[in-house]
Amino acid sequence: MIERIAILGTGLLGTSVGVALRAAGFHGSITGWNRSPEGAQAALAMGALDSIATESLQAARESLAMPIYATLDFMEKLAPVLGSEHLVTDVGSTKRQISEAAGRLFNTPERAAFLPGHPMAGKERGGAALADAELFRGTVWLFTDDPAAQRSPHSAELVKGWREWVGAMGSKIIDLDPARHDELVAWVSHLPQFVATALSALLEEEVGDAPELKDVGGRALREMTRLGASPWSMWRDIAYTNTEAVQAVLLALEQRLAHLRENLRTPELRDEFEKANRFRKE
Amino acid sequence: MIERIAILGTGLLGTSVGVALRAAGFHGSITGWNRSPEGAQAALAMGALDSIATESLQAARESLAMPIYATLDFMEKLAPVLGSEHLVTDVGSTKRQISEAAGRLFNTPERAAFLPGHPMAGKERGGAALADAELFRGTVWLFTDDPAAQRSPHSAELVKGWREWVGAMGSKIIDLDPARHDELVAWVSHLPQFVATALSALLEEEVGDAPELKDVGGRALREMTRLGASPWSMWRDIAYTNTEAVQAVLLALEQRLAHLRENLRTPELRDEFEKANRFRKE
């Protein structure tokens, strides 16, 4: 059903989608475009692409793998030049604004279909060179599609086809309302990231000049700060497009830490540990 | 030089020391005592012990592997019944109070030597059954010994001997002043633990009733909450014996999170990410 795929943005996720599709048996053509030509060359060398497109709009047919504001820009440019023979999807980490733009610009019988997507996969460092055909195996791929979208039968088939390829790459699909998506990922994805960033930045100031003392923290410290390596360039758009939800979860954790701090010698400490233990029970 | 070892407390650490010593070539006798007889039987079955002692003071010759207040109690009981032919060491996670008791009760030419120790190794769950001869490989073992201790030549030899066995089990030794130890571990060990506990407890309340949504967080969420499984029984004494230092680091992180929360849309966010990135640079 899906015969040709264009990947706009051949970083870690875009290139991983290319190699994962090949591993899952996709035999159609895959072309790619990247802001830096080196990234596209690397994706070609990894086997993620058959060809490199030199002009993004010419390449833009079925896929987007770039930060959120770049995605929103492309959506505006793509909508008028595509038609109902096309499906566009994305991998942006927040979905309220992208889903709103999808409803405004796409998903009518005459226009291309747009399926807002968010694979919960990644690495703390990006780039095509780290792409991995197994990156999506066992992970969750969220969609925030509008069930009331007015699509042509062909567009609806393309949406169904892409969902099947996502399953073939090893992901479990969960469908969510866009606002609920952004609230949920604030808790389970953005909060862990911002905590790791704050903890790492604080420790850099306090013990960063005593490098052998990082060894003292051992595995626990390494794990709790691994996400500290995540680049600002990946998180800037998330902070901008999910500001209120992220503020709410950060404030909740600040209050929780203060509660712990005030109860280091009271029975409340046991309650907190027991509640945390329950979260980790399978 | 060290011929007989008694391990008081054959949980994860005590039993791991037993099997690690055997793996490192210790051929002397190892006897063990545990508050629950099942724990001692498990350690015997793991090959960590040659024999089980039925009475703790009779067994108490060279080692302690138990929570801090239990260690302090034992130190009071052991000091009058041991002599300069003995070395006692411990594995407690805070060292100010234990080092103070060591100076008061041990380390004179007539009394046993006491070497305050702290292996930076463990698992989020305890018990002899999880003991591992490789638990200390590549980790740091901290000592907060008093360089001015007035010891007999024999006692000094025992201290040297135990430090060599620690090296043979694969640990790198770092010597610290006890107060500096407690301040440092507050940053690199206690803070990561209490953050993981607070984050896990908060998420248990907020998303704990939607178990499939834990999958959404993926590896990042699993890592940031793994220490949430740590039991209160291990951390109660740490919270009690290092309260002020832990309060200070928790407050510092609360302030850091508030700073991040107030700057999600300012250039400060980039500065925080870049500082965190530096902490993770090798």
pLDDT of chain A, 282 residues: tens digit per residue: 888 998 988 999 999 999 999 999 999 999 998 888 899 999 999 999 999 987 766 555 445 667 788 889 889 988 998 999 999 999 999 999 999 999 999 999 999 999 999 999 887 777 889 999 999 999 999 999 999 999 999 999 999 999 999 999 999 999 999 999 999 999 999 999 999 999 999 999 998 887 677 788 888 999 999 999 998 988 999 999 999 999 999 999 999 999 999 999 999 999 999 999 999 986
Residue A224: give its domain's CATH number: 1.10.3660.10
Of the partner residues A139, A216, A269, the one whose CB lies closest to the CB of residue B140: A216
Residues of A in contact with B215 (CB under 8 A): 120, 139-140, 172, 174
Q: Work out the number of other CB atoms within 10 angstroms of the CB of residue B141.
A: 21
Q: Are A229 and B280 in contact (CB under 8 A)?
A: yes
- If one counts every other C-beta atom within 10 angstroms of the C-beta of residue A29, the result is 13
Look at A208 and B270 and tell me if their CB atoms are within 8 Å: no
Residue that the structure tokens 């399978």 belong to: A282
Are the beta carbons of A216 and B253 separated by less than 8 Å?
no
Does A51 share its domain with A172?
Answer: yes
Q: Which of A193, A247, A272 lies nearest to residue B201, judging by beta carbons?
A: A272
In percent, the amount of chain B with pLDDT more than 90 equals: 75
Same domain for A185 and A136, yes or no, is no
pLDDT in tens, B32-64: 988 888 999 999 999 999 999 877 665 554 456
Residue B108 shares a structural domain with residue B30: yes
8 Å CB contact of A272 and B198? yes
Q: Which of B176, B207, B226 is the last residue of a domain?
A: B176
How does pLDDT run across B224-240, given as a tens digit for each residue?
A: 999 999 989 889 999 99
Q: Identify the H or E element spanning B89.
A: strand B87-89
Point out which residues pair with A89 in neighbouring strands. A63, A115
- Chain-chain contact of B275 with A204 (C-beta, under 8 angstroms): yes
pLDDT digits (tens, 9 = 90+) for B219-228: 899 999 999 9
Mutation for A interface: B135, B257, B270, B282, most A CBs within 10 A: B257
- Chains A, B: CB contacts within 8 A come to 278
Residue of B nearest to A228 (CA): B276
Q: What is the CATH number of the domain that holds B45?
A: 3.40.50.720
Contact B275, A205 (CB under 8 A): yes
State the Cα–Cα distance between residues B158 and B280, nearest whole angstrom: 39
B47 and B16 in one domain?
Answer: yes
State whether A208 and A68 are in the same domain: no
Task: Out of B176, B204, B235, pick the residue that ends a domain.
Answer: B176
Number of neighbours of residue B227 by Cβ within 10 angstroms: 23
How far is it, in rounded angstroms, from Cα A138 to Cα B218? 9
When CB atoms are compared, the residue of A192, A220, A269 closest to B192 is A220
How far CA A112 is from CA of A29, A56, A79, B28, in Å, comes to 19, 17, 7, 77
Same domain, A78 and A138: yes
pLDDT at position B87 over 80:
yes
Residues of B within 8 A of A240 (CB-CB) are 264-265
Residues B140 and B248 grouped into a single domain = no
Interface test with A, best of B264, B266, B271 (most A CBs within 10 A): B264
Q: For the sheet containing A172-175, what is the strand order? A: A117-119, A140-143, A172-175
Same domain flag for B41 and B90: yes
- Please name which of A91, A107, A89, A68 lies closest in space to residue A140, comparing C-alpha atoms: A91
B182 to chain A, closest Cα gap in Å: 12
**How many C-beta atoms surround the C-beta of residue B155 within 10 A?**
26
Q: How many domains does chain B have?
A: 2
Statement to judge: residues B80 and B153 lie in one domain:
yes
Segment B104-119 mean pLDDT = 95
Residues of A in contact with B120 (CB under 8 A): 215-218
Closest by Cβ to B204, choosing from A216, A247, A276: A276
Mutate to test the interface with A, among B13, B275, B281 (most CBs of A within 10 A): B275
Domain range for A126 is 4-176
Shortest distance, CA B208 to any CA of chain A (angstroms): 6
Residues 6+ apart with CB under 8 A from B174: A212, A213, A215, A216, B140, B141, B142, B143
8 Å CB contact of A221 and B251: no
The pTM score is 0.86
Q: Name the token pair of B136.
A: 């200390």
Taking CA–CA distances from A278, the nearest residue in chain B reads: B204
Q: What is the DSSP string of A13-52?
A: HHHHHHHHHHHTT--SEEEEE-SSHHHHHHHHHTTS-SEE
Among the candidates A152, A176, A200, a domain finishes at: A176
* A23 plus A163 within the same structural domain: yes
Residues in chain B closer than 8 A to A93 (CB atoms): none
Question: Crossing angle, helix A214-225 and helix A191-207, to 10 degrees?
Answer: 160
User: How many angstroms away from the CA of A14 is the closest CA of chain B?
Assistant: 19
Q: Which of A195, A226, A230 sits opposite B199 (nearest CB)?
A: A195
- Partner-chain residue, chosen from A185, A251, A260, that has the shortest CB–CB distance to B194: A260
Contact B80, B25 (CB under 8 A): no
Q: Looking at residue A61, what is its pLDDT?
A: 47
Tell me, yes or no, whether A13 and A129 share the same domain. yes
Decide: helix, strand or coil at residue B174.
strand
**Nearest CA to CA, how far is A232 from chain B (Å)?**
5
Same domain, B140 and B97: yes
